Homo-oligomer: A and B are copies of this chain.
């Protein structure tokens, strides 16, 4: 370990809970661009921070393409105004989506609970007989 701030793909992957393959995949998608030493990838602190942002994006349900959009703006626009506005808008959309999903789940749970009760009764009846 020459420098704790530098990681190989496997190392960074481990520290983030993802595979090295995922890191390479994100590279082909141009989400991250680690430097090379020879042909080996070396990730630094910034790469790690960027990956954490990416994973946060995934956690809250954005696709890699959407995440790339945010990052591209972030990279291109130092003032970050455009980036923030896009993020703002997409976050709003996602909130609405999830509210809808939540509602769908609620309805589905009602339907499922009904079925569950029906089957519970049916099973009890066969036991009594």
Which residue numbers of A lie inside 8 Å of B, CB to CB?
56, 59-61, 81, 84-85, 87-88, 91-92, 94-95, 98-99, 101-102, 105-106, 108-109, 111-113, 115-116, 119-120, 122-123, 126
Contact = CB atoms under 8 A, between A and B. Distances in A.
A60 B101 contact: no
B59 A123 contact: no
A113 B95 contact: yes
Number of this chain's copies in the assembly equals 2
B87 A115 contact: yes
B98 A116 contact: no
Contact of A112 (B81, B98, B120, B126): B98
Nearest to A115: B91
Nearest to A108: B60
A52 to B, nearest CB: 13
A111 B61 CA distance: 11
